[in-house]
Amino acid sequence: MTEIEIPDPTPPGSEPPPSASTDEEPESPYKNMLVPLVVVPAMIAMVLLLIWGFFSGLAGSEKTPRENLEQLLHGGFNERQQASFSLVRQVLEQKDAIESGAQADWDIDESFLPALHSAREAVGELKGPEDVPTPFVLSSLLAQLGEPEGVHQLVEMTRLDDVVDPGGQFRLYAIWTLGAIGNKLSEPMRVEAAETLIGLLEHADEGLVLGATAGLQNLPSPGTAPALEGMLASRSLAQRGSAALSLAALAVPAGRSVLEEMLNLEAYAAERGDSPNKWPPRRVSESRSKALEALNRLDLAPSRANLESFAEDDPDANIRALARELLAEI
């Protein structure tokens, strides 16, 4: 199971901790969450949701899934945080055990689904940011367990307004989850999720656009490839690069020229302009590496002479190493 870490949301009423790195501009409240989606969309497989605190130091025996569900609904703030993390982990561990044929550690069977449905139905109207986490966890669990209702609810949560989701983070979480489970959904649910993310490609918030662009790689539908191909003309290198990577994941070579552009250091320098933090070296390295890997998967890797040039002369050690690996395969 592949995990994508979601940065801990700051509890209401407290200030976010200072950043440990200064190599990026804080362009949005969820800037850090965008990077894997922009340059490493193939990492999307399964999402561990809402890790809100440092749970390793908490004492006491672990609660059962039903106990966590009860605490998620009726516990205090810290108890709900702990319960949300534990319940999601337990459900994902259960699914992983079943798929691998191993012995499941948790008693989560069909009888647990009605409890989840009832808990979600009991959630009242969303009036403020503090009302969003619990229904989001419950909806994401239902969706990951293959329940159409959970998918419908996540679709609706991509449309939360600023009153209840002022930073857009839960809209992005919903987008991530739909993309993460896309390959597990039935065709009708997958098409619904794909149409939802396609509809976000023209959103004013670039963060949501990037999330939707990357999530579509796991949501093949009649409209997915054409929508992503339309993104290849974006003025934003991050957007057109993410679209090209998602198309490559779908085995569609339409983004070849953008992938080749992503190998070119001048492309990042041109977009960076007078803002040196816009494309820090680590992000450039990741982006170029993923582009080279994508071209190779599409059987469109640079010529042997160009790979040899990358292997010997490129200023990025990661690119030199990757080029040598590809030459060895040849």
Q: Domain boundaries in the chain?
A: 1-7+27-221, 232-330
Length of the chain in residues, anyone? 330
- Read off the tokens for 213: 């662009």
**Side chain identity at residue 7, one-letter code:** P
pLDDT of amino acid 13: 38
- Read off the tokens for 105: 């550690």
The whole-number mean pLDDT for each consecutive block of 10 residues of the chain, a chain of 330 residues, reads 36 36 42 42 38 39 80 80 77 77 77 85 87 88 88 96 92 90 91 97 92 93 98 94 95 98 95 84 92 96 97 97 95
CB 15 within 8 A of CB 147: no
Distance of CA 5 to the CA centre of its chain: 9
- Read off the tokens for 296: 């190779």
pLDDT of amino acid 59: 40
Helix or strand or coil: residue 160?
Answer: coil
CA distances from 179 to 46, 189, 211, 249, 297 (A): 9, 12, 9, 13, 21
Report DSSP letters for 190-226, one per residue. Answer: HHHHHHHHHHTTT-S-HHHHHHHHHHGGG---TTHHH
CB 256 within 8 A of CB 231: no
CB 319 within 8 A of CB 288: yes
pLDDT of amino acid 61: 56
* CATH fit for domain 1-7+27-221, picks 1.25.10, 1.50.40, 2.60.120, 3.40.47: 1.25.10
Q: CA 261, CA 187: separation in Å to the nearest integer?
A: 34
Q: CA 230, CA 216: separation in Å to the nearest integer?
A: 13
Q: CA 37, CA 68: separation in Å to the nearest integer?
A: 30
- Read off the tokens for 305: 């002479």
